[in-house]
Amino acid sequence: MSPFLISIVIPAHNRPQLLLEAINSVTAQNYSNYEVVVIDDGSTPPISHSALKDALGDRLTLHRHDSAQGVPKAKNAGINAAQGEVILLLDDDDLLMPNSLEQIFHAFSKHPQIDCLFLGVRPFGAYHEGPEKSRKEAMKKILERTNPEKCDGLYFFSSTLFDALLDTVPIDFQRPAARRSMWNITGGFDENALFSESAWAIHAACIGTIALTEEAITQWRIHGNNFGWPSGLELEEIRLRQIENSISSSAQLMGKFVKKNQQWHERNRKIKKHHSEQLFSKAYYLYGKNRKEGMKALAATSSLSFSKAHAKLWIKYFLSPLIARK
C-alpha cells in the first residue's frame, strides 16, 4: 500500500512551548508522508516561523490570523489549507503517540468504507484523574449502547451511534481524522458555536461510516488552561458544562438539519420534475409505436404532475384506436 499524505491541522494561540511539544510528537512519528498546517490564531507575539521550520522543514504550512478568531474558525482555516487525503486535528497542547499516523494510514487503507476515524484518547497531566474517570464512564455507556463490531483494532459503529452521541460525546469522539470528502460534506465546524467538536461528531455519525481506534493514539493534556476542564471545578459545575455542551450541540444540529431538509426538498422537487418530463417524453415518443407502453409512461407522468400537454396526449392515445379503424 502506497502511503498517502496525512495532514495534521494545529490551531494555536499563545502557547509556544506546548505547540513545540505537540509538533515534536508529530516529528517522532514512524510514518513519514505527512504535512503540518499551523493556524496562528492571533498569538502575541506571533508564532515564530523559523522555530517551526527548524522542526518541520518543508512539511510546514503556517497561516496567521492577526486577531483571535476562535477555535472553530482556526480549525476550518487549517482544514481548508490542508492538502492531505486524510485530515486530522491536533490541539496545540495535546500530543500524538509515535504510531498514531501509521495506525490512521492502515485503518483507512484496509477499510476504504471508513469516512471518519475517531482517535482513542489518553488523558495526562496534573488534573487528569477526574476527566479520565468521566471519560471511561462515558465510553462505557457508548460501547454498551452501540455494541460496535471489532476488527483490526478498530470499533465499527452502526447508525445507533448517532442516538448514543445525542446523550453524550466522549472526548474520544472529539478527536477526528476524516477523509477530505467527509470534511467537505459536513462543512467543517460551526464557527459561531461554543462546543463545535461535539456537534461535528454527531453530524458525522448521522451521515458517514464511523470507526474508533481501540487503542489510545492521542494524548489529551489536562492542565489549568484547558477550555473544557479548567482547574478547580466541582463535579456539579462540570456536569453543568456538559449539559450546556449538549444544548449547544443540539441547537447547532437543528439548524444544520433544517437547512439540509430545505435543500433536499428543493432537490427532490427538481428531480421529480425532471423524472416527470422524461416519462412524458417517453409517452410522446411511443405514440403510434407502442400504445401499451406509451400509456403506462403517460399514466406515470400524470401521477407526478398534470398539465394541458398531458391532457392533449391522453386524448390522442384514446382516439388513436378510432382513427386506426377509419
pLDDT per position as a tens digit, 45-90: 999 999 999 999 999 999 999 999 999 999 999 999 999 999 999 9
Which set of grid coordinates corresponds to residue 23? 509538533
φ/ψ (deg, to 5) at 277: -65, -40
Based on the domain organization, do 279 and 158 belong to the same domain? no
Based on the domain organization, do 157 and 298 belong to the same domain? no
Based on the domain organization, do 217 and 283 belong to the same domain? no
Based on the domain organization, do 25 and 140 belong to the same domain? yes
**Which one, of 71, 64, 12, 80, lies nearest residue 193 by Cα?**
71
pLDDT band at residue 231 using 50, 70 and 90 as cut-offs: very low
Indicate if the pLDDT at residue 249 is higher than 70: no
pLDDT band at residue 234 using 50, 70 and 90 as cut-offs: low
Based on the domain organization, do 157 and 79 belong to the same domain? yes
Return mean pLDDT, the chain: 90
Q: Are 24 and 55 in contact (CB under 8 A)?
A: yes
User: Given phi > 0 = left and psi -120 to 50 = alpha, else beta, which region is 130?
Assistant: alpha
Length of the chain: 326
Q: Are 49 and 61 in contact (CB under 8 A)?
A: no
Based on the domain organization, do 220 and 114 belong to the same domain? yes
Indicate if the pLDDT at residue 132 is higher than 80: yes
Indicate if the pLDDT at residue 224 is higher than 70: no
- The per-residue pLDDT for range 281-322, each reduced to its tens digit, is 999 999 999 999 999 999 999 999 899 999 999 999 998 877
How far apart are the C-alpha atoms of 108 and 182, rounded to whole Å?
13
Based on the domain organization, do 273 and 158 belong to the same domain? no
Q: Are 61 and 36 in contact (CB under 8 A)?
A: yes
Q: Helix, strand or coil for residue 271?
A: helix
Which set of grid coordinates corresponds to residue 115? 469516512
pLDDT at 229: 41
217 CB burial (10 A radius; 0-12, 13-18, 19+): buried
Based on the domain organization, do 25 and 95 belong to the same domain? yes
Look at the block and give the residue holding cell 481506534: 213
Q: Are 205 and 214 in contact (CB under 8 A)?
A: no
Q: Under 8 Å CB-to-CB from 225, ≥6 apart: which residues? A: 15, 93
User: Given phi > 0 = left and psi -120 to 50 = alpha, else beta, which region is 199?
Assistant: alpha
Based on the domain organization, do 107 and 149 belong to the same domain? yes
Which set of grid coordinates corresponds to residue 161? 451511534
- The per-residue pLDDT for range 149-181, each reduced to its tens digit, is 999 999 999 999 999 998 889 999 999 999 999
pLDDT at 232: 54
**Which one, of 139, 147, 102, 145, lies nearest residue 123 by Cα?**
139
Based on the domain organization, do 64 and 140 belong to the same domain? yes
> How many percent of the chain have pLDDT more than 90?
73
Residues spanned by the domain of 317? 262-325
How far apart are the C-alpha atoms of 92 and 109, rounded to whole Å?
27
With respect to residue 1, please indicate whether it lies within any of the assigned structural domains.
Answer: no
Q: Which amino acid is at 205?
A: A
How far apart are the C-alpha atoms of 298 and 82, rounded to whole Å?
51
Domain count along the chain: 2
Q: Under 8 Å CB-to-CB from 172, ≥6 apart: which residues? A: 118, 119, 120, 121, 135, 139, 212
CATH code of the domain in which 59 resides: 3.90.550.10
| Distance from the Cα of residue 5 to its chain's centroid | 19
How far apart are the C-alpha atoms of 89 and 55, rounded to whole Å?
19
With respect to residue 254, please indicate whether it lies within any of the assigned structural domains.
Answer: no
